[in-house]
Structure formats: C-alpha cells, structure tokens
A and B are shown apart, each in its own frame.
Chain A
Amino acid sequence: MSVDKDTVNKIARLSRIAISDAEADKMVGELNGILAWVEQLGEVDVTGVEPMTAVISNKLRLRDDVVTDGDVRDKVLANAPAKEGSFFGVPKVIE
C-alpha cells in the first residue's frame, strides 16, 4: 500500500496537524518509505495467533467507587493557555 498527496492531507487532517503543500509533498516520500519497510510484516504467518494485549500478565484492578477528583480545580487550570474564570477558554464554537 502506498499513500499519495491527498491521503497525506487526509491523515494530517485526522491528526489535527496543519501542513503546507511543500510539507505534504515531502511527507509522501517519507511515509511511503516507512510503509514499504513495514510491509514485510505481511510475510509472517500469524495463523491462530492472538494480537498481544498485555506484555506481562496482570490483573486489571478496580478501585473503590468513591469520588477521587482531588478537589484541585485551580491546579487543573493552572497551565491553561487561556482560562476564563474557573473555565478553559476556547474560540467560539457555535455561530
């Protein structure tokens, strides 16, 4: 499988990363190089093999059903690039 410029632009859109036309051109070659190299995984016979989900067998723990949000609103907001009062600020999303 290989990607063209339209696909690169689509991946960039899905990734929420703005790219210029020149960057998209460059990325076509780079992604195709990497994808051509990973294609070799297709040679491996994986019949009956379950995809790995955990490297070390470990039980998933459940915690007690209690509120543990820490009551740290101001700490949570401390690094916000634009906060308004006790809220995160974002550009207008509803016309």
Chain B
Amino acid sequence: MTDFSRLGVAAIRDGVANGEFKAVEVAEALNTRVAGAKALNAFIVETPEMAVAAAQAVDADRAAGKPLGKMAGVPIGMKDLFCTEGVQTTAASHMLEGFVPTYESTVSANLWKAGAGMLGKLNLDQFAMGSSNETSYFGNVISPWRRNDGGNAALAPGGSSGGSSSAIAARLCPAATGTDTGGSIRQPAAFVGISGIKPTYGRCSRWGVVAFASSLDQAGPMARDVRDCAIMLEAMAGFDPKDSTSLDLPVPAWEAALNSDLKGKRIGIPREYRLDGIDEDIAKMWDNGIAWLKDAGAEIVDISLPHTKYALPAYYIIAPAEASSNLARYDGVRFGLRDLPEGAGLQDMYAATRAAGFGEEVRRRIMIGTYVLSAGFYDAYYTQAQKVRALIARDFENAWASCDLILAPTAPSAAFGLGEKNADPLSMYLNDVFAVPASLAGLPAMSVPGGLDKQGLPLGLQIIGKALDEQAVLNAGLAIEQRSGFTAEAGEWW
C-alpha cells in the first residue's frame, strides 16, 4: 500500500488524476498523521472533515470526467493567518481566539478552487511576529528535528511559519501556505530542511490575510521540493482587485518551465553577507552551493550590496511602524476580544482589551512603532528608515547589472533550541539578517536545503531573484536540489 505521507504535491495530483488512488484515501491517511502528531503542536485547529469533503469533490469530478485543478486532491495545511470562512482564524493570538471569519482569503479561495483540501489551521508566531514560533498564544511549535548529540532538546521550527515548516518536515502534509514579512517562509523552511518561496511583492493577494506590515507581507508556498513549490505558487498567485497592491499580471506557468540548466546565468555572491565570525558549517554549505550552481552551467560573480548591514535596523523600524497602524483595528468593539473592567469607559476598555489580547512581543512592536511614528521622531526614525530602504533596493538594482540571481545562506545558523534566544529580543531579530534585505526590496527569494551541520541539523541556501523572475529563482533552486543529494529527514519520535 502507498504511504501517502511520502508523496509530494505533484505525486498526489498525478496519482489522483491517473486513477492510481482516490483523493479520499490521501486525505484520510494524512488526517490520521495529523491526529497522531499532537506533540509537535503544529496545528491550532484540525479540520479533517474539510479535507475529506474537498477530496470527495475531486473524486466525483474525476468520475464525471470533469477537468481537475492544479492542486486537485492535495490536502494542505493553512497558516492560521489566512481567514477561512467558518473556521476559527486567530493569528495565534488571544485577541482573535474564537474569531470565525465570514469570508475567505483570496489565496486560500484560490487553493480550494484548484482542488486542494484543508487539513487544518497551522500554528505560527503571534501576528507573524517572531523567528522561533515561541510567541504563539497557543504554545510553542516543536521541530521534528533533533540534534545528533543523543539529547532530546526541543528545537525551534523557525518562524513565523513554524507550524507550516514543522508539519511539512514531519510529513503531516505535503505542503502548506506561509507568509513572509522578513523571512517567515524562508527561515523556517531552512530550519527543517524543506523548500519555500516568497514571490515578488504583489504576486499573491493580501486580501483576507491578517495584516502585520502591509508593505512587506507576502504569501508563498512551503513544500518538500522545488517542483511542489512551483505548482502551489501557481495556484496561490494572481491579480486580485480587492488588494490595492496586487500585480495585474498573468500567472506564469512556472512548473512547466522548470529547467535546471543554468547556462548563461550569472550568480552574484554578495561579499557583505560573509559576516565576520560566520558559522563554518554555513560557510561550507554556501561554498557547496556555489559549486553546484557552477556545475549547472552558471557563472559566479562577486557582487557588493553595500547597505546590507542597515537592512535589519531599517526593517525593525518599518515593520513595527506598519504593525502599530495595522493592529489599531483591535479595539474590542468590532471583532475579537473585549476586556471591559467594571465601570470602565471606552478608552479604558481599549487599553485593557489590548493589554489582555496581545502577547509580549506584539505589545513591544506596537510600542516601538508608535514611538517611531510619534510627533518629533517621525523623520529621525521612520523617514530615515524608508530612505535607507530605497538605498537597499538600489543596491539590488545595481547588482542586477552584473548578475541575474544572488546566492546566500538563508539564516546565520541552524535551528536553535526553544528558549535559547527569547530572553533578548535583539538576538532573536539578528536571526533574520540574510532574509530581510530581499523583503525590503520586494524581491522573490527562496530557501532550499543545502545540507546538514555538525549537529545533524538542516541548513538552507537562499536564492534571490529580480522582481517578477520567480522562474529563475525556482530553476536555480531545482539545480541545487538535483546536486545537493539532500534526503535527510527527522526521526519519528512524536
């Protein structure tokens, strides 16, 4: 009998289309995997009946000879930042506990239209603010990976899409949605040895996605290989009049055009990413990546992105500023939590509700954002950060004169242990150092597995491309995937 947990998006789609198995068999098998993996805490809500219902519809369509969608019969996990009609959507916060949307996000609607089914809503960092999934109101997500030291220290699955990364690596689902504001798809993918792509800003609609920092937020797929990411991105992307920054462009046939022959492509290696004291396993993996791309026919060129070191501080002004504005909507009046102390007026109700509903990291970022936007400080912080952001985008523009793609590590280290970095917010922020520049510039960027470190933990290679050139990013990802021989997976201890 087929072990459906081992099949990816393409294999499930093709097997269902060819009649090798029924979509319902896949949904039931994965529902069982999800139900048996509570120790990972990857899901906030499980929706086995929805996975089965979607699969039954696909099986019926096939029996009736109707055309099947791009994701027909593929059960997926949905990050709990996407509003799903009739299913609780929390952004992993107490503020939205019990919030049941009366509408469906455009991205999730696109996926259901393509024939995918929902296994459940995946845990994440609260309001997508975090790099370790330790800020969720619903508890930490645990990575399926363990160090090879014989200990069983619980490791971070990365963040903010930590439920997505953990569930895919544990083979609870073949793919899941993620969102990436400053690395939230790429860093968790790197931490658990899977692939994930953040497309160009504007490719995937933000409508119905709980907002964090609107000029940066971008949805994308996470899966166990590059082809599966290409398939799912095609299903997710597309123009949406309901999002004012949605790009009015056709969705390319990324899967059909996958090609790992990189002849004629120039790959830039940014010297500023080679930080002093770079982890030697990371440096070695990066060198391997360079060799693999060379082997695929690419030319390697040295490039400079001179404002790289300013990307993180600019991000930690811009993202909190936008968050403080976006999260002003949580007022205890229209939806979400209300905390009304005895005898309190409207202002006291706002303050009590927001103190009770937001976790510590969310409160911290709202307050930083409020401060940098406040009278007298706006120009010194916010305007300066937006000017630096323009320079970071210009760095990339200049780089494209001499290269077509950029190769760098995804994160400066392998997964760290839960609790190791959360005492100091700054040390957690620094984990996003390689991921944030592409976010600030709105560029497509992908993480693919690059190998294991000395502790036996996965490391990720990041490919950054020109705006709208997801194809080149995916192709380089495929070239790495074909050469890295990465087959390691987490032992099933849960």
Contact = CB atoms under 8 A, between A and B. Distances in A.
B368 A81 contact: no
B396 to A, nearest CB: 10
Contact of B215 (A35, A55, A81): A55
B324 A55 contact: no
Q: Which of A38, A49, A58 has the most CB of B within 10 A?
A: A38
Contacts of B350: 16
A50 B388 CA distance: 9
Contacts of A42: 380, 384
Contacts of B324: 15
Contacts of A56: 200-202, 245, 247, 442, 467
Interface string B162-176: 000000000000000
**Is chain A's interface secondary structure helix, strand, loop, or mixed overall?**
loop
B383 A51 contact: yes
A17 B258 CA distance: 50
Interface stretch (B264-272, B310-318, B410-418): B310-318
A88 B317 CA distance: 34
Interface string A33-54: 1110110111010100111111
Contacts of A55: 201, 215, 393, 440-442
Interface stretch (B221-229, B278-286, B327-335, B399-407): B327-335
B49 to A, nearest CB: 21
A37 B385 CA distance: 13
Given A31-B371, A90-B333, A41 B347 contact: no
A46 B388 contact: yes
A81 B354 contact: no
Contact of B335 (A1, A11, A27, A79): A79
B371 to A, nearest CB: 5
Nearest to B350: A16
Contacts of B316: 34, 37-38
Interface string B434-458: 0000001110000000000000000
Contacts of B351: 12-13, 16-18
B381 to A, nearest CB: 7
A40 B307 CA distance: 12
A47 B344 CA distance: 49
A78 B98 CA distance: 12
B349 to A, nearest CB: 6
A66 B346 CA distance: 34
Interface string B40-78: 000000000000000000000000000000000000000
A22 interface: no
A27 B367 CA distance: 9
A42 B250 CA distance: 41
Interface string B195-213: 0000011100000000000
A1 B372 CA distance: 11
Interface in B378-394: 380-381, 383-391, 393
A37 B388 contact: no
A86 B355 CA distance: 28
B86 to A, nearest CB: 11
A7 to B, nearest CB: 8
Contacts of A72: 102
A38 B338 CA distance: 34
Contacts of B334: 76, 79-80, 88
A78 B215 CA distance: 29
B336 A93 contact: no
A50 B394 CA distance: 12
B310 A18 contact: no
B340 A30 contact: no
Interface stretch (B23-31, B150-158, B358-366): B358-366
Interface in A55-90: 55-56, 58, 60-61, 63, 72, 75-76, 78-82, 88, 90
Contact of B355 (A3, A17, A46, A88): A17
B369 to A, nearest CB: 8
A52 to B, nearest CB: 4
Contacts of A18: 348, 351-352, 354-355
Contacts of B347: 16
Given A40-B310, A41-B384, A17 B245 contact: no
B441 to A, nearest CB: 6
Interface of A: 1, 3, 7-8, 11-19, 27, 30-31, 33-35, 37-38, 40-42, 44, 46, 49-56, 58, 60-61, 63, 72, 75-76, 78-82, 88, 90-93
Instruction: State the 4 A-B residue pairs at the shortest beta-carbon distance, nearest first.
Output: A55-B442, A51-B386, A81-B338, A79-B335
27 contacts: A7-B371, A8-B367, A14-B374, A16-B347, A18-B355, A27-B364, A31-B367, A31-B371, A33-B426, A34-B368, A34-B425, A38-B317, A41-B388, A46-B387, A51-B383, A51-B386, A51-B390, A55-B440, A55-B441, A58-B247, A75-B102, A79-B336, A80-B334, A81-B336, A81-B338, A88-B334, A90-B346
Given A17-B363, A30-B364, A44-B388, 8 more contacts: A16-B328, A18-B354, A31-B364, A40-B309, A40-B313, A51-B389, A75-B103, A81-B336
